Amino acid sequence: MVKIGVLALQGAVSEHVRSIEACGVEAIIVKSTDELNLVDGLILPGGESTTMRKLMDRHDILTPVIEFAQAGKPMFGTCAGLILLAKEIVGYDFAHIGVLNATVERNSFGRQVDSFETQLEVKGIATDFPAVFIRAPHIVEVEPNVEILATHEGKIVMVRQGHLLGCSFHPELTVDHRITAYFTEMVKESLAKKATV
Ligand code: GLN
């Protein structure tokens, strides 16, 4: 059975587990390299990116996660997870995992609107996805190999770069599992590809 891990050092973990299971796939809580080695794809949840990075260092899992991505295994970052994936973060001179060819800006939807929900058109997935934004980042710019899947008020909020998927919002906080199902398909396709090599 396909196994999708959720990095479980901090943040919205159980919601992702529920969404993965709703897609008929096994969910694995990942806190260590041994657990990472069990999974075919990895979700980096929302939460607080600086805290998550500190915990990744403390659990010695940053390099294994970078290697996981470099091996072509699918990874999906939501909100803080998107910040972890990005190669550039506005105002910071370092990245975290740094594999997604995109520049992100943190907390970019205004202080007065900490969180909001809106219907988004997501290319190839939905015309009406209920997207929950919580102190969300947005994607300022992307390199040519990154496909833009959704924007909100002119700001990029979801992208795909081959086996990497990232979004500014929290698809796991609703009962709409279409985005998790899309990632599940990415994981299945990558396994099928591996099987034919
Ligand atoms: N603002 C958080 C950060 O910068 C992300 C918020 C979220 O994941 N909901 O890490």
Q: What is the pLDDT of residue 194?
A: 83
Instruction: Tell me phi and psi for residue 2, to 5 degrees.
Output: -65, 140
Q: What is the CATH number of the domain that holds 176?
A: 3.40.50.880
What is the per-residue pLDDT for 142?
A: 98
Catalytic residue among 105, 138, 167, 172: 172
The token duo for 92 is 């910071």
Which of 16, 43, 49 is the pocket-test mutation for ligand 1 (most atoms within 8 Å of CB)? 49
Nearest CA-CA partner of 21 in 47, 44, 7, 1: 1
Tell me the C-alpha to C-alpha distance, in Å, between residue 31 and each of 7, 79, 102, 111: 6, 19, 26, 32
Q: Please list the pLDDT of the chain residue by residue as tens digits (197 residues).
A: 899 999 999 999 999 999 999 999 999 999 999 999 999 999 999 999 999 999 999 999 999 999 999 999 999 999 999 999 999 999 999 999 999 999 999 998 866 568 999 999 999 999 999 999 999 999 999 999 999 999 999 999 999 999 999 999 999 999 999 999 999 999 999 999 988 87
| Full domain range(s) for residue 176 | 3-196
One-letter amino acid of 21: E
Identify whether 152 is a catalytic site residue: no
Q: Is 31 in the pocket of ligand 1 (CB under 6 A)?
A: no
* Cα 64 to Cα 80: distance, rounded to the nearest angstrom: 19
How many angstroms does the Cα of residue 195 sit away from the middle of ligand 1?
36
Q: How many domains does the chain have?
A: 1
ipTM metric: 0.95
Q: Is 79 a catalytic residue?
A: yes
Query: Among 155, 143, 149, which Cα is nearest to 186's?
Result: 149
